[in-house]
Chain A
Amino acid sequence: MNRGLAEDLAAELEAVALGDMEAMRRLHDATCHKLFAVCLSIVNDREASQDVLQEVYIKVWNRAQGFDRARGLPLAWLAMMARNSAIDWLRAQSRQRRTSEQVALELISDDGEPVDEQLARQQQAAQAINSMEELDTASHAMIHDAFIGGLSYSEVAESRGMPLGTVKSRIRRGLLQMRQSMVSD
């Protein structure tokens, strides 16, 4: 995001915090496509995403005073609000649809990890033919997807049909690499 846009959005947010409805409209128009994309990428339903988007802007109106331009970029602040709202919506839907079988799946915990670790080792051995570069790219994609979708380790493992231990080891490896790159940036 360029500096000018960031400053414009920050100024609009500060005006919204003071109750400026026109600033609210300008902020909406400048960001709605981006925030709609965030909602849609998580909710995966256009109509529901529109509901979530409306909720996001109501939160923006109510919480604009919490934005501090010294602590972060305005678009990131808004995007995170959209992400969190979409995840809340998704989880609320999930709770409504939950079956006893799903509850049982959620109760899978680290107690089973030794078995998973064993499977992970087997899988890692089978994947030895993959290049490290491919593995790293997959790890980073897994981390991105997990964060944007609000998924925990066990949810990532379930969604990808992978052993929990494999998911953890891949993601942790990716996190350490990302951190190195964050430090060197």
Chain B
Amino acid sequence: MIDRVSLSEERQTLAAELALGLLERVERLEAERLRFEHAHFADEVERWEAHAAGWVADLPPTEAPASSWTRVEAALGRQQLGEPMAPAPAQSSDPGQGWQFAAMAASLAAVLFAGLWLTQSGDTDPADEGLLRAEAPRFPTETLSVAQISGKDGADWLVSAAYDEAEGTLYLRLNAIEGGDRVPELWVIGPAGVPRSLGFAEESGSQVIVLTPELQQQMIAGSTLAVSLEEPAAQPSDAPAGPILGTAVLAPLVADAGPTGAAAGGATG
């Protein structure tokens, strides 16, 4: 775990370690949470990222194959003809863990989460009820993980998320996020410790996203979900640029927790 003796220097080093990808899984997830929660720490990480990017850019060039552009052009042509595009940024990845913290929160938030989801269905406009019921995840399921994001000030919930690993499907419900001219964008911080966009979301209501295999690898217990407010754009960005509204840890449902699925929840950011 992260040793926080001599905090100031320790955090400086931690920021560098996060930016350079040196941390192991548990430390990385912890550091990424710090990045979301502390602006100065986030600035330090960004400074190191920019510095290290210069190392890569400074590598001496090597003659690329003459066919490089032809291949790129052909691939782009195929893409424009309708081959699937990756919907979100991709960086390094590897399998991970680090869900112990989430599991503790999960056991407390489980019934609340399941209840909230069901209550929300009951509160909806009857005209929408069928759609929402159809979109809601099945309870219980052995492959379901959940998270609930609340505002940083402990205000009402912002996003309820349930992820069905078997289907690679993310069920979302957003609670009237007011972003002005910005739109909510959802992120996952998986085992690689870097945020990946899950895409833009409507400010309220329910939504179902089928994730790419690459993003599915990020959606493991212990991963952090986050929601930020971003400028509208045609493509998701590489990293959150706008304010982070909140975070929560994805936690597995407890299989024997009761008739409503007894579920799990998340730590708020």
Asked if A1 CB lies within 8 Å of chain B CBs, one says yes
Note all chain B residues with C-beta closer than 8 A to A58. Answer: 72, 75-76, 79
Note all chain B residues with C-beta closer than 8 A to A119. Answer: none
Note all chain A residues with C-beta closer than 8 A to B16. Answer: 175, 178-179
Inter-subunit contact A83/B56 (CB<8 Å)? yes
Asked if A160 CB lies within 8 Å of chain B CBs, one says no
Summed over the interface, the residue pairs from A and B with CB atoms below 8 Å come to a total of 161
Inter-subunit contact A54/B23 (CB<8 Å)? no
Q: A58-B76, A147-B52 are in contact. Are A153 and B57 (CB under 8 A)?
A: no
Majority SS at the chain A contact face = helix
Note all chain A residues with C-beta closer than 8 A to B124. Answer: none
Which of A's residues lie within 8 Å of B, judged by CB? 1, 21, 24-25, 28-29, 32-38, 40-41, 46, 50, 53-54, 57-59, 61-63, 65-66, 68, 71-73, 75-80, 82-85, 87-88, 91, 95, 109-110, 143-144, 146-148, 150-154, 156, 171-172, 175-176, 178-179, 182
Q: A37-B59, A79-B53, A175-B17 are in contact. Are A32 and B68 (CB under 8 A)?
A: yes
By beta carbon, the residue of chain A nearest B47 is A182
Which of B's residues lie within 8 Å of A, judged by CB? 1, 9, 12-13, 16-17, 20-24, 47, 49-57, 59-65, 67-69, 71-73, 75-76, 79, 85-86, 89-95, 233-238, 241
From B47, B61, B92, contact of A88 by CB (8 A): B92
Q: A28-B69, A53-B64, A54-B75 are in contact. Are A153 and B24 (CB under 8 A)?
A: yes
Inter-subunit contact B53/A80 (CB<8 Å)? yes
Inter-subunit contact A109/B20 (CB<8 Å)? no
From A33, A73, A110, A171, contact of B64 by CB (8 A): A33
Note all chain B residues with C-beta closer than 8 A to A172. Answer: 13, 17
5 A-B pairs with the lowest CB-CB distances in the bound complex, closest first: A76-B53, A36-B64, A33-B61, A37-B62, A79-B56
Bound: A32/B238 CA distance, A: 21
From A25, A62, A84, contact of B85 by CB (8 A): A62
Q: A25-B73, A32-B68, A66-B237 are in contact. Are A176 and B13 (CB under 8 A)?
A: yes
Bound: A77/B200 CA distance, A: 23
Inter-subunit contact A36/B57 (CB<8 Å)? no
Q: Would you list 5 pairs from A and B whose C-beta atoms are within 8 A, ordered by A residue?
A: A28-B72, A32-B68, A33-B63, A84-B92, A156-B22
Bound: A63/B85 CA distance, A: 11
From A25, A35, A66, A72, contact of B50 by CB (8 A): A72
Note all chain B residues with C-beta closer than 8 A to A66. Answer: 89, 233, 235-238
Inter-subunit contact B56/A32 (CB<8 Å)? no
Inter-subunit contact B86/A32 (CB<8 Å)? no
Inter-subunit contact A91/B92 (CB<8 Å)? yes
Q: A144-B55, A146-B20 are in contact. Are A91 and B93 (CB under 8 A)?
A: yes
Q: A25-B73, A34-B57, A84-B91 are in contact. Are A62 and B24 (CB under 8 A)?
A: no
Nearest-neighbour CB distance to chain B for A94, whole angstroms, equals: 8
Note all chain A residues with C-beta closer than 8 A to B236. Answer: 66
Q: A63-B238, A83-B56 are in contact. Are A21 and B76 (CB under 8 A)?
A: yes
By beta carbon, the residue of chain B nearest A87 is B92
From B60, B73, B89, contact of A37 by CB (8 A): B60
Q: A72-B50, A76-B56, A182-B51 are in contact. Are A153 and B23 (CB under 8 A)?
A: yes
Inter-subunit contact A147/B60 (CB<8 Å)? no
